[in-house]
Copies of this chain bind each other. A is one copy, B any other.
Amino acid sequence: MIGRDNEQTPHLGDSVLDSALDSVPVGAIEAGGTKFVCGIGSVDGEIHDRISFPTGPPEETLAQAIDYFAGRGVQAIGVGSFGPIDLRAGSAKYGFVTTTPKVGWANFDFLGTLRRSFDVPYGWDTDVNAAAYGEAIWGAARGLDSCVYYTIGTGVGVGVYAEGRLLHGLLHPEGGHLRLRRHPDDTFAGCCPYHGDCLEGMAAGPALQARWGVPGHELAADHPAWEIEAHYIAESIAAAVLLLSPRRIILGGGVMQQEHLLPLIRQRAAASLNGYVAASELAEGLGEYIVAPGLGTQSGLRGALALGIRALEQSRSGLGDSSLSGI
């Protein structure tokens, strides 16, 4: 029989174990393709200490993370990693980075390497799923049972939290590679090596640079680049609304530091949906629906912390090591 648990939103730390866990240090790793961020946090979601360093070869990079956590008594570690990664329960490659073109990282046993140093429960998910989780628990989607988190920077990644769970399946969402209708004024071929003109190929930082000859942050707020940029992001948001029906959409990443971009995206997403999805949240210009991260630039690290806390709670409540059951 299927019992749907009634909680719509996880309340990490609201468990009966609270008092036992309050002072427990939990490790968090936001493993990005260009930068690692490691931190130590607590069940209340606070990060008490952090460090970051460039992502180098996997063994060296993990050694830096292991050095950082050594002797700090972390009782669990949550990892949000660049991907693709294997997070299928029971897979022999669970905990691995899989087919990435990033030199040295393909088929690397990320969690296994950590396990050899720290025998603790592990949380494990994509960097963007972790960020979605952090935002759902402590950020802009707090209190909601679903959200979609975008990072739009060097690449485009999409994390999905739905029905109170991080979404996986065949692998995990790869929404950065959606194929989208072209902006009518845009002749740029796109720069994704797989798809050319997918979302990432048209709207990530390198696409802005390649299309206009300068980095995005050097383009004035009234430059036509931003209408085109907003078009692709908004088209992908319309697809996410139609397939996932999330209660909130959160846009993070370096490109979104251009604050004039968010209102343009809202306008274009509303135009693309054209009133079809009759939900009150989609009225009023989408100002409450498509939003900036509530955790600023910490969505990923705090999401990784949440993954770690959850693994710890599952372990202590006898639900099994979350690194086996997935999230």
Give chain A's interface residues, CB within 8 Å of chain B: 1-8, 10-17, 84, 89, 98-99, 145-146, 158, 160, 162-182, 194-195, 235, 238-247, 272, 274-279, 281-282, 310, 313-314, 317, 319-320, 322, 325-327
Contact = CB atoms under 8 A, between A and B. Distances in A.
A10 to B, nearest CB: 4
B244 A173 contact: yes
A178 B245 contact: no
Contact of A177 (B242, B246, B278): B242
Contacts of A327: 4
- The number of times this chain is found in the oligomer is 2
A167 B163 contact: yes
A4 B179 contact: no
A2 to B, nearest CB: 4
Tell me what chain A mostly uses at the interface: helix, strand, loop, or mixed: loop
A192 to B, nearest CB: 9
A143 B13 CA distance: 33
A221 to B, nearest CB: 27
Nearest to A276: B194
A145 B169 contact: yes
Contacts of A10: 1-2
Contacts of A276: 174, 177, 194-195
A2 B12 contact: yes
Contacts of A246: 169-170
A148 to B, nearest CB: 8
B4 A243 contact: no
A242 B278 contact: no
Contact of A165 (B13, B163, B320): B163
Contact of A84 (B1, B160, B177, B278): B278
Contact of A169 (B4, B177, B247, B278): B247
A245 B317 CA distance: 30
Given A1-B14, A162-B163, A310-B2, A179 B243 contact: no
Given A158-B243, A180-B181, A235-B179, A277 B174 contact: yes
A162 B167 contact: yes
A22 to B, nearest CB: 14
Give the 5 A-B CB pairs with smallest separation, nearest first: A1-B15, A169-B245, A2-B10, A99-B278, A146-B169
14 contacts: A2-B12, A2-B313, A4-B325, A145-B169, A162-B162, A163-B166, A163-B168, A169-B245, A170-B281, A173-B245, A175-B243, A178-B242, A179-B181, A240-B243
A298 to B, nearest CB: 21
